[in-house]
């Protein structure tokens, strides 16, 4: 059990577990947190998991964890670890089962006053057009050859099929397509699971949410991002569905033998890994990239469905209400990136699990429109609470592998949330605050109770004070659709 | 899992219990032998997912798996059930299992699963993890803690 006295305080917002804490650590753990949030973090096993993550072979620098961190399986949620490319390892469990789970934000020019009379209908139409819940099918069904084209081309597939615009693609991390995706490295079972799930949300903490841009804190950057105070926005949170889950399941199984072949010893079998330049590592990289492309398309199809719901709601009632894409970010991913380490620029594989890429101004590869501002960082709050739009900074490039927080972060177990809250009560309470709720499962709703999460404002204040992101705008929920 | 019986009923009479986990689901399962441990793990997984079966028609599926160790065999077995639930909307409440140690320290499982279509399921399980997975021999037989990604 890690205790507060095991940590060195760097500043009010940064702490460190030294490499000397345990003999098998290959680097320190850097924690972005206030003292108050740290006490919540110490309440579960997330820091032990971060220490375990620091044993990955080829680790470069520190494992970094965000203030929204919490216990996961193997690797903590809110964790970032970089391994040297190509000799270092890639670990499927350090990316997670929901490969390229992420968030998309769409902005509009629809003012709240004009939208209010139609919000109820909008919530119902979003619920109707964005399939959610356990066992649901997506809005598009394809055959295997078509799926393989989708896995290779990502959002470009959606563009070709008429589900995306050029602007959508330009405003997506990696332009919605990871190169060198290898559909042939997915099992038949993974593909089968994906065939009928394209454009579906799933269950758990995934959602489609209509928000109000309640306040803009940096007008110039908000303008670049396309956000207007007092207008509606839409957040979409989901990932690669059963296809991604199967890819991770398959490779975590396969890598159980790979670690023995490469003589890798780890404190947790969920962290199994293989060198990136090994046949096993190459196979997983190709499969993971294909699953990531599936997730980009999935969110694109949900955006397409959301636009359809807006069209049916506002056609003939409002003019010029276009939903334009602010950005689409990944928060479960392994990416080959170049970072400055002790004065040298080196290639690393950055594993982000429940952490958002937060590239600062001037970072090579960032879209031209974000070169001055830094990239948008989307931080959804818990259901019924504030969400934030932040921007990446130069400091995030130096201190956190170009990463920031991804949400509020759970603090209460699902079983306790189900025990303490009733879904129906929660729905009534949120509706009484003017938030429209459409949920497939009341038990699932109870698990996502806002009190089961940390205070997202405190999380955001921490990353901003630490300098690894800056505030752009705050969003307030108006309607939530959940599985 | 028994048709028509609630999840709460299960927790009262079955040899498994939910244990606290911040984000996902964790289950402690115990049984007199390995075969029963696998069976109770499957029933526990059904219970925490809130899976309810249709009354009929009953369906049967054969399953044959091999793995390098007991833990990998358990993950493979439960992952098969996750796949059946998501892809075929099938779940099982009768498990005729055989587990044998094979050559070169491998473990083999053969099973006849009997169940029905899923009538309702509260939550989807994304995956069965290896996180701290260790099948222990205890005074009462075998015990394991399993973390599910949800």
As given in the structure block, the two tokens for residue A112 are 């709240």
Distance from the A328 Cα atom to the nearest Cα atom in chain B, whole angstroms = 23
Beta-carbon pairs below 8 A across chains A and B: 105
Domain boundaries, chain A: 4-411+453-482
Domains defined for chain B, CATH in brackets: 17-149 (3.55.10.10)
SS percent in chain A: helix, strand, coil, step 5: 40, 25, 35
Q: Do A253 and B21 touch (CB under 8 A)?
A: no
pLDDT at B10 > cutoff 60:
no
Enter the ipTM.
0.93
Cβ of residue A48 closer than 8 Å to a chain B Cβ: no
CATH superfamily of A4-411+453-482: tRNA-splicing ligase RtcB (3.90.1860.10)
Q: Do A270 and B131 touch (CB under 8 A)?
A: yes
Select the residue of B25, B72, B83 nearest A189 (Cβ to Cβ): B83
Mapping DSSP onto H, E and C, the string for A312-352 reads HHHCCCCCCCCCEEEEEEECEEEEEEEEEECCEEEEEEEEE
Kindly list the residues from chain B whose CB atom is less than 8 angstroms away from the CB atom of residue A259.
Answer: none
Task: Give A384's contacts (C-beta < 8 A, 6+ positions apart).
Answer: A430, A433, A435, A450, A477, A480
Distance from the A444 Cα atom to the nearest Cα atom in chain B, whole angstroms = 7
Distance from the A132 Cα atom to the nearest Cα atom in chain B, whole angstroms = 11
Mutate: best of B63, B129, B147, B150, partner A, most A CBs <10 A: B129
Alpha helices by DSSP H, A112-264: 112-115, 119-129, 144-153, 155-160, 166-170, 188-195, 219-225, 241-261
Q: Do A98 and B71 touch (CB under 8 A)?
A: no
Q: What is the largest CA-CA distance in chain A?
A: 67
Distance from the A237 Cα atom to the nearest Cα atom in chain B, whole angstroms = 15
List, for residues B134-143, the tens digit of each pLDDT value.
999 999 899 9
Q: Do B50 and A249 touch (CB under 8 A)?
A: no
Mutate: best of A47, A50, A73, A251, partner B, most B CBs <10 A: A73
Burial degree of A10 (CB within 10 A; 0-12, 13-18, 19+): middle
Cβ of residue A482 closer than 8 Å to a chain B Cβ: no
Kindly list the residues from chain A whose CB atom is less than 8 angstroms away from the CB atom of residue B23.
Answer: 70-72, 77, 410, 414
List, for residues A97-132, the tens digit of each pLDDT value.
999 999 999 999 999 999 999 999 999 999 999 998
Task: Report the SS3 class of residue A255.
Answer: helix
pLDDT by residue, tens only, chain A of 483 residues:
899 999 999 999 999 999 999 999 999 999 999 999 999 999 999 999 999 999 999 999 999 999 999 999 999 999 999 999 999 999 999 999 999 999 999 999 999 999 999 999 999 999 999 998 877 889 999 999 999 999 999 999 999 999 999 999 999 999 999 999 999 999 999 999 999 999 999 888 899 999 999 999 999 999 999 999 999 999 999 999 999 999 999 999 999 999 999 999 999 999 999 999 999 999 999 999 999 999 999 999 999 999 999 999 999 999 888 999 999 999 999 999 999 999 999 999 999 999 999 999 999 989 999 999 999 999 999 888 999 999 999 999 999 999 999 999 988 888 888 889 999 999 999 999 999 999 988 888 888 888 899 999 999 999 999 999 999 999 999 999 997
User: Look-up: residue for tokens 């615009």?
Assistant: A165
How many Cα atoms within 13 Å fall on the side-chain side of residue A90? 28
Q: Do B127 and A410 touch (CB under 8 A)?
A: no
Count CB neighbours of A219 within 10 A. 13
List, for residues B43-80, the tens digit of each pLDDT value.
999 999 999 999 989 999 999 999 999 999 999 999 99
Contact A470, A372 (CB under 8 A): no
Give the C-alpha separation, A444 to A199, whole Å.
21
Alpha helices by DSSP H, A365-471: 394-399, 414-420, 423-432, 442-447, 456-466
Catalytic residues of A: 406
């Amino acid at each position: 059990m890690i205790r507060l006295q095991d940590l060195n305080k760097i500043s009010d917002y940064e702490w460190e577990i030294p490499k000397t804490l345990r003999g098998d650590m290959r680097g320190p753990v850097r924690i972005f947190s206030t003292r108050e949030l740290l006490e919540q973090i110490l309440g579960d096993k997330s820091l032990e998991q971060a220490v375990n993550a620091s044993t990955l072979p080829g680790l470069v620098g520190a494992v970094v964890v965000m203030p929204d961190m919490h216990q996961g399986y193997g690797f903590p949620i809110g964790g970032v670890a970089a391994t040297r490319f190509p000799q270092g390892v890639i670990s499927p469990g350090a990316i997670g089962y929901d490969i390229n789970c992420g968030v998309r934000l769409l902005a509009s020019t629809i003012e709240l006053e004009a939208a209010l009379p139609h919000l109820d209908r909008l919530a119902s139409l979003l619920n109707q057009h964005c399939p959610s819940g356990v066992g649901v099918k997506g809005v598009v069904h394809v055959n295997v050859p078509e799926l393989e084209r989708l896995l290779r081309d990502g959002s470009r597939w959606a563009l070709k099929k008429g589900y995306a615009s050029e602007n959508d693609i330009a405003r997506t991390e990696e332009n919605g397509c990871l190169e060198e995706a290898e559909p042939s490295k997915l099992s038949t079972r993974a593909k089968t699971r994906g065939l009928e799930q394209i454009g579906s949300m799933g269950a758990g903490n995934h959602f489609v949410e209509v928000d109000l841009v309640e306040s803009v804190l940096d007008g110039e950057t908000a303008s670049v991002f396309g956000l207007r105070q007092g207008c509606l926005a839409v957040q979409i949170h989901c990932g690669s569905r059963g296809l991604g889950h199967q890819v991770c399941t398959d490779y975590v199984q396969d890598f159980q033998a790979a670690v023995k072949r490469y003589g890798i010893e780890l404190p947790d079998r969920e962290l199994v890994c293989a060198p990136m330049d090994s046949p096993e590592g190459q196979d997983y990289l190709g499969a993971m990239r294909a699953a990531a492309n599936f997730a980009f398309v999935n969110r694109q199809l949900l955006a397409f469905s959301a636009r359809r719901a807006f069209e049916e709601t506002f056609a003939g009632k409002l003019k010029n209400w276009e939903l334009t894409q602010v950005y689409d970010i990944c928060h479960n991913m392994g990416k080959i990136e170049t970072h400055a380490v002790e004065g040298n620029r080196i290639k690393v594989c950055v594993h982000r699990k429940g952490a958002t890429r937060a590239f600062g101004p001037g970072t090579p590869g960032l879209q031209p429109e974000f070169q001055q501002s830094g990239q948008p960082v989307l931080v959804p709050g818990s259901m019924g609470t504030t969400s934030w739009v932040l921007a990446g900074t130069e400091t995030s490039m130096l201190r956190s592998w170009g990463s920031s927080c991804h949400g509020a972060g759970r603090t209460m177990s699902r079983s306790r949330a189900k025990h303490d809250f009733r879904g129906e009560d929660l729905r009534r309470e949120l509706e009484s605050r003017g938030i429209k709720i459409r949920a497939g499962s009341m038990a699932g709703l109870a698990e996502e109770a806002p009190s089961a999460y940390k205070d997202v404002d405190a999380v955001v204040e921490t990353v901003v004070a630490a300098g690894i992101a800056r505030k752009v705008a705050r969003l307030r929920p108006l309607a939530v659709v959940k599985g | 899992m028994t048709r028509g019986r609630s999840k709460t009923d299960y927790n009262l009479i079955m040899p498994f219990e939910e244990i606290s986990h911040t984000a996902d689901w964790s289950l402690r399962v115990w049984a007199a032998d390995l075969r029963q441990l696998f069976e109770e793990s499957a029933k526990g997984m059904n219970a925490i997912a809130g899976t309810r079966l249709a009354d009929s028609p009953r369906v049967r599926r054969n399953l044959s798996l091999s793995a390098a160790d007991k833990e990998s065999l358990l993950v493979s077995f439960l992952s098969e059930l996750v796949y059946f639930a998501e892809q075929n909307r099938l779940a099982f409440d009768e498990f005729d299992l055989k587990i044998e140690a094979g050559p070169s320290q491998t473990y083999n499982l053969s099973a006849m699963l009997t169940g029905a279509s899923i009538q309702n399921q509260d939550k989807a399980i994304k995956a069965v993890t290896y996180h701290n997975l260790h099948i222990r021999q205890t005074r009462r037989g075998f015990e394991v803690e399993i973390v599910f990604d949800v």
